Amino acid sequence: MHSHAEVGLDIRALIEFYSSQGRLLRPQHKPSLDFEVARLIRDSQPAPLMVETERGSIVSNILATRESLFKILAVSSDAEAYSKMSRAMFSPARLTKLSAPSFKSLGNDLYKLPIPKFFEKDGGYYITAGVFIAREIGGNAVNASIHRAMVLDENNLAVRLVPRHLYYMFSKAEKANISLPAAILIGAPPVVYVAAASSPPYGIYEVEVANALLGGLLEGTPDLLEGVVLPMPSEIVILGEFLPGRRAREGPFVDILGTYDDVRDEPVFRVHEILAKPDPYFYAILPSGYEHILLMGFPREVAIWEAVSKVVPKVHKVRLPASGGGWLYAVVSIDKNTDGDAKNAILAALAGHPSLKIVVVVDGDVDPDNPLDVEWAIATRMQPEEDIIIVRGARGSSLDPSSDQRTLITSKLGIDATRPLSKPGWMFEKARIPVKVN
């Protein structure tokens, strides 16, 4: 039986844990990298999957359920998970357990890796679970973040960089007309994926956040990327550099909402060397799949929980349902002292996750994981004239196809679906049958 720490520290230990429980799906035939792998990943959700392809093993759906996330974080509840993540982001732990990993070199040919093509109109074959790690040129800041990367040829990738920390590092290097060395980790320790999907302040190394989450047990190596300790064990490490002044067309590609993102000119990453464990596991995340939604959404749940917790007595759960792509729509269950608390919770949630377009706030007796429960609360506890907030002219998400794609201006909706305290509580109580029949 693998401990919480083991499965958080090593993707192989997590795969072995799933296998020991009889949960790992292993199809016998070798699927094509053209769409067949993607179809198997989608059809098996949320069950963990391992497939053998002509270029090696692919694993997916390893972080597709909240149960898996809680096991990796060694927690048993939402509140514990949010609190632990919040603490770790502001108390990172330097990696002191250093090792010399045993890798073999695959040269610099990307075509030696089992990189899939996922959807019909995709612009190419995509690395979707690459943790990019780089150090600021002329500074000490180190960043780890997950980015999609489209194969251009055997030695080059087009990498989607949104204007956040890695983009800032690349832009700073490009202005000086120098390249930005970086490493891409595929199959990194699972806890690193959780931390790399988060957004701590600039200068906080997400890998050190991951180390804090597991009590300082994470191992690293200082030998592969100058001035940076990379987390180990990792299945595959791609070493290379972002080239100044080079752009390539990237996309189309499916975003978290299941729609195609725009085609853009993106920075080019030149591959110098690919290092891999013997018979490495290539980790692939299905775009818009359960795993994508949970990994991308969980850190935003933490941000919403932190923001709303400051204005109400208690936050029970925060959910970014798959129906909103795990991004645009949130349900927050709270306890309130006054009827104004729910409105403040709406505003706090919108501030905590600025990409949100719709927020529904419900009482603690309503389960945000059950859409029927949420809709029942809207139907029975909400008065449209009093309980709807519309915010006009706010900045939204580039992922929302209905927003102004140039300015990203959108309107936002908040629904207070909590029961009014001015009325007797029994009027809003859902009737229950108090016995069970075997």
d(CA 31, CA 114): 11
Longest Cα pair distance anywhere in the chain, in angstroms?
A: 73
Residue 417, token pair as written in the block = 């679906």
Q: In this structure, what are the phi and psi dihedrals at residue 434, rounded to the nearest 5 degrees? A: -85, 10
Q: 380: phi > 0 → left, psi -120 to 50 → alpha, else beta; which?
A: alpha
Quickly count: other Cβ atoms within 10 Å of residue 395's Cβ.
14
Quickly count: other Cβ atoms within 10 Å of residue 185's Cβ.
27
Residues facing 267 on adjacent strands? 247
Strands 388-395 and 409-417: antiparallel
Q: For the packed helices 66-73 and 11-20, what is the interaxial angle rounded to 10 degrees?
A: 120
Question: Do 403 and 366 meet the contact criterion of CB atoms below 8 Å apart?
Answer: no
Question: Do 291 and 62 meet the contact criterion of CB atoms below 8 Å apart?
Answer: yes
Catalytic-labelled residue, pool 255, 261, 341, 363: 255
Amino acid occupying residue 227 = G
Q: Strands, DSSP E only, in 202-309?
A: 219-225, 228-232, 236-250, 253-254, 260-261, 264-276, 281-283
Residue 241, token pair as written in the block = 């550099």
Burial readout 34-71 (b: 16 or more C-beta within 10 A, e: otherwise): eebbbebbbebbbebbbbebeebbbbbbbbbbeebbbb
Question: Do 260 and 254 meet the contact criterion of CB atoms below 8 Å apart?
Answer: yes
DSSP letter (8 states) at residue 263: P
Does residue 255 have an active-site annotation?
yes
Distances in Å between the Cα of 272 and the Cα atoms of 182, 183, 220, 235 are 10, 10, 21, 17
The catalytic site residues sit at 255
